[in-house]
Amino acid sequence: ITKLHGFVSNCQQLPTDIPAVLTEMIMLLEKILHWEFVSTSLTPTLPGTFAKEVDLDDFDREDGPSSVKKTYVIFPKQWQPVVGNSEVLWLFFMTYSLVQDEDALGHRCRQCLIQLAGFQQDFFNNNSELIKSYATTLIHGIRKMIADITAFGTSPDALSEQGPQMLGTIQMIRRLLENVSLVNLCTIPDFFQFLNEVGMITVSCLGGTVTDVDEGWISEASDIVQPSDPRGNDPKTGLLPDQAQHLTQYMTTVAYQIVETYMTTRLERAKQLTCIGTLGRLNPQPCLVRLHQLLAERFESFKGFFNGQSQDGLVLLHEQLHWIILIAAHILADSGKGEQPMIPDILMQLSGSQPSLEQDPVVNLSQLFLELFRFSSSFGSNTVEASNCSPRVAETLIWYMERWSKSYVLVDENEYGYMSPHIAKVFGRPGPSDGQGLLVIGFFIDQMKTNFILWNADPDVLNQLVKWLHSCGTCNNLKQGLLQS
């Protein structure tokens, strides 16, 4: 490390003929930082005992450096004054700045930085000053790396040229956020600006999926936005009130940015859809309004194809409708496997806080999906109009109706501490709220009959209809409604 410091301090630009001593120093440091030690807290081995050796160098492994198996490192605590020292950490950032344009050395130096970003708080004996100094330096260095990556823009094409650099930076971000508590991070002046840049990187990575870009850093970005704390605690525990408020405001803003981007990019993974549903509920009003806008625009375009409009773009429109339905379903309702799914409390509160029914984004979006279902089911199976309909969209829409109806239709007001009067009136039971849920049940029965005829030759759609019928027979709210209809 001392020799590396001497070299970097006296080298402003990497020579064309790379000195062999620099290559050897970086390779040696990478190997040292990838030594694997066993934890001494659960086993009788001495500190500094090696774990099972990995034969292949990280650069030569088949799964490559993007294969992340854990997000922390274990080193002997005697190493802390050296590898945990902020000046040493900054030396590695300066070395990376010098060699980043050289593929092999840039990769090896990134691997060193990824390892150095994985220290847990126990490595510093939970000393808050040491942890803060370490995290501050790491944030400063990562922000510099982000600035270098985005210097040529954040478009998918620009970022795809920086795939390895992006992947390494994202892995470092993830390690920092998972291993250092928010109590310590929130005391760092640049932390919230750092989070803004993390949000920007996340949105940019999601934006990359609009085109056929299939880089490792895109999937890594989806891990960063998972709305869970890996330590298993309330992440805001121990924060001062103003810090907690600041963090909450940040999360609601960035969550909407990510959801809005996701609506456009249409990523197809169940895990990510669940994640997007959770994020969408952090700040639901703009998300639901945006979904309503997207659905209304596509619905109008869809109607245009039934008025003699050219078929150009119909396949893309079907794809867009498919993803709008999926995203909305994960925000509006839970799957409720094995239990009666409740309307999410934050959506119930949002609906009830609206001054009028016409301004309720929960009700408006739900009703627009019902209208889309009615329109797309209003044609005979052998008509010309039916050829404009997609079995995939039909299957997805019926799946949505099954998921959504279990929570919203004929909702039992006694199950909730607070009930939105708008939801109770439009979808609820007859009684005090004069709910119109039985009309929705009647509508469902008619549409089921129509869709069995319309899609009689498509087994996937028919299978989804059967699943919906089964749900109606097992969900208490829907079962009672069917018996009364």
Query: Per the structure block, which two tokens stand in for 289?
Result: 């309004």
Residue 258 lies in a domain: no
What is the structure's pLDDT at 59? 36
Residue 105 lies in a domain: yes
Query: Per the structure block, which two tokens stand in for 393?
Result: 């969209």
Range of 96's domain?
Answer: 1-42+55-223
Query: Domain end: 205, 223, 241, which one?
Result: 223
Q: What is the DSSP string of 141-208?
A: HHHHHHHHHGGG-SSHHHHHTTHHHHHHHHHHHHHHHHHS-HHHHTTSTTHHHHHHHHHHHHHHHHHG
Residue 103: count other Cβ atoms within 10 Å of its Cβ.
10
Q: What is the DSSP string of 225-269?
A: T--S-TTSS-TTTT--HHHHHHHHHHHHHHHHHHHHHHHHH----
What is the structure's pLDDT at 39? 59
Number of domains in the chain: 2
| Residue segments in the chain with a per-residue pLDDT below the cut of 50 | 40-47, 53-68, 210, 212-213, 215, 222, 225-234, 267-268
Residue 271 lies in a domain: no
Query: Domain end: 166, 194, 223, which one?
Result: 223
Q: Own/partner pairs for 341-344, CB < 8 Å, 24+ apart?
A: 341/403, 341/406, 341/407, 342/407, 342/415, 342/416, 343/407, 343/408, 343/411, 343/416, 343/423, 344/281
Looking at the structure, tell me whether residues 20 and 161 fall in a common domain.
yes
Contact in structure between 110 and 170 (CB atoms under 8 Å): no
Looking at the structure, tell me whether residues 215 and 77 fall in a common domain.
yes
What is the structure's pLDDT at 143? 94
Looking at the structure, tell me whether residues 80 and 213 fall in a common domain.
yes
**CA distance linking residue 166 with residue 346, whole number of Å:** 35
Looking at the structure, tell me whether residues 175 and 29 fall in a common domain.
yes
Residue 270 lies in a domain: no
Looking at the structure, tell me whether residues 61 and 206 fall in a common domain.
yes
pLDDT in tens, 410-460: 988 888 999 999 999 999 998 777 889 899 999 999 999 999 999 998 999
Residue 266 lies in a domain: no
What is the structure's pLDDT at 38? 72
What is the structure's pLDDT at 426? 95
What is the structure's pLDDT at 42? 45
Please provide the average confidence, as pLDDT, over all residues in the chain.
82
Residue 269 lies in a domain: no
Query: Domain end: 223, 243, 277, which one?
Result: 223
Residue 60 lies in a domain: yes
**CA distance linking residue 279 with residue 257, whole number of Å:** 10
**CA distance linking residue 3 with residue 19, whole number of Å:** 13
Residue closest to 266 by CA, chosen among 323, 315, 217: 323
What is the structure's pLDDT at 385? 78
Residue 120 lies in a domain: yes
